[in-house]
Amino acid sequence: MVDLRPITRSLRAIAPATVFLLVAGLVGCSGGAPTPAGSTITVTEGTRTATRSVTVTAAPGTPTAATSTVLPPAPTDEPAPEDGTCPYLSDEQVADINGQHTGTTTVVEVPPQPICTFTRSDGGWLATVRVVQADSAAAAVAAVDQHVPVDRSNPADDPAGWSGGSMSTDRGSIYAVAKGPMAVIAEANQPQSIKGRQLAAAAIANLGL
């Protein structure tokens, strides 16, 4: 029986910003024709458990174990932030979620959606939310793991169908999840990960993702 845990760790572990996908058990021991391998893998970190589905198809001639590298989307030149309105999160939603009055909101116009940064009424930073559209599901997972490395984060699986991680940071907390080629990363100025989770869930719902 093949141990599937290395596949899961590879999908969540970055060193740095790189995911190593270990393809195991794709060819039978008898040397017969390769067949698709589908796995549902459960990861438990801290007090939360997340389930992630992985399906890999071996090409003819693929060895029993192979290693490939999946990178998150490459950084792109970003325009300067401008005062504006976030198209997928209102100031009222953010204030209600974070429990603090909002001040100026800035947006950075990048595809597929602007990066939105919210400030408190006193001008201090409150939260930042970004939406990433990657070339593949594996690259979206890599983008999530770049922000919440598996060895320092707890599994996250909200909203339904999304998975990733959450962790405390030196300025608050971060919650990042992926589904298919999409990823959503939410940072908040409070250490409770529920703030980022609610911000991400609201953005996902408002965008209909």
Q: What's the pLDDT tens digit per position in 140-153?
A: 999 999 999 988 99
pTM: 0.66
70, pLDDT greater than 50? yes
Contacts (Cβ under 8 Å, ≥6 apart) of 165: 12, 45, 50, 144, 145, 148, 149, 150, 153, 154, 155, 156, 175, 176, 177
Q: Give the Å distances, CA to CA, from 186 to 69, 83, 116, 127.
A: 26, 19, 10, 7
Name the CATH superfamily, with its identifier, for domain 82-207. Mog1/PsbP, alpha/beta/alpha sandwich (3.40.1000.10)
Tokens of 153: 């984060």
110, pLDDT greater than 80? yes
198, pLDDT greater than 90? yes
Query: Residue 72: its pLDDT value, please?
Result: 64
Mean pLDDT of 177-202: 94
8, pLDDT greater than 80? no
Contacts (Cβ under 8 Å, ≥6 apart) of 197: 156, 158, 166, 175, 186
Q: Give the Å distances, CA to CA, from 18 to 59, 63, 138, 153, 166.
A: 23, 22, 10, 17, 19
- CA pair distance 175, 90, nearest whole angstrom: 19
13, pLDDT greater than 50? no
- Residue 55's φ and ψ, nearest 5 degrees, are -125, 125
Query: Residue 50: its pLDDT value, please?
Result: 42
Query: Residue 197: its pLDDT value, please?
Result: 95
**80 pLDDT band (50/70/90 cuts)?**
confident
Q: In terms of DSSP H, where are the helices of 53-208? A: 91-98, 137-147, 193-207
By three-state DSSP, how is residue 181 classified?
coil
